Amino acid sequence: MFSGVFSAGVVKKALDRGIVRMAVHDLRDFTADKHRQVDDRPFGGLEGMVLKPEPIFRAVEAVREEAGAKVYLLSPQGRTLDARLARELASETQVILICGRYEGVDERVAEHLADGEISIGDFVLSGGELAAAVVVDAAARFVPGVVGKEGSVRSDSFAGGILACPQYTRPREFRGLKVPPVLFSGDHKRIERWRRRKALEKTARQRPDLVEPGALSPEDRELLEETPHERKSS
């Protein structure tokens, strides 16, 4: 699964250049029985299978390169992945991601081995592999040198706490739909003001939770409160 996801794109280039390293480990390689069993039925009579603690503890202990390595369990019950968490992960020397499966993972892993749990949303996947790939991609973008133009990371959605501004490219007019003329004004200060206002408007429309009262600076509140006439003139 991981070889397919990371066979192209900026993360693949970063792996080739050695900017980031990634290794995938099979839990079955850390079992001690002839059947290489990694799961078992849950105590208490519930349905499904639960990943056993022994191979997970052995795997983490075997691949941990230093005492300070961070260990996270991918779980729908974890902290929701966002730009802040991705940046935190990118600053670590080593991050170990445990991919849950089936009905979950023995709770002793979460309580006594993992430093935390990470979720990519309020839904359940068939396994944590896809979620882990999302975490790797999101975090890798914050590692210096991974993205060709690092300024693009700073202008991504959520990088500044709000959504990104609208973007346009050629042609200037398509099926009667025109690119806002302010982008051709050559007035960089005016363009930046327009971009900031549009980003705030989009955020207020699509993610109002990010611009709740008190979350914006006085300058941003002023931009959002401008009248249509003022917006047109600016």
- Residue 84 catalytic? no
Q: Are residues 11 and 110 in the same domain?
A: yes
Alpha helices per DSSP H over 104-174: 107-112, 129-140, 150-154
Q: Which domain holds residue 160?
A: 156-233
The pTM (predicted TM-score) of the whole model is 0.86
Q: Are residues 20 and 89 in the same domain?
A: yes
If the chain, 234 residues long, is cut into consecutive pieces of 10 residues, what is the mean pLDDT of each piece?
A: 92 96 97 96 92 98 95 95 96 97 92 97 94 97 87 69 93 97 96 95 93 86 73 53
- Residue 103 catalytic? yes
- Beta pairing, strands 116-119 & 70-80: parallel
Check 42, 64, 88, 103 and give the catalytic one: 103
Q: Are residues 13 and 85 in the same domain?
A: yes
pLDDT of residue 127: 93
Number of structural domains, the chain? 2
Check 55, 76, 106, 117 and give the catalytic one: 76
Q: Are residues 99 and 134 in the same domain?
A: yes
Read off the CATH number of the domain in which 186 is found: 1.10.1270.20
- Residue 88 catalytic? no
Check 101, 106, 117, 141 and give the catalytic one: 141
Q: Are residues 18 and 65 in the same domain?
A: yes
Check 53, 156, 226, 231 and give the catalytic one: 156
Q: Are residues 136 and 186 in the same domain?
A: no
Decide if 146 is inside a domain: no
Q: Are residues 136 and 162 in the same domain?
A: no
pLDDT of residue 231: 55
- Residue 76 catalytic? yes
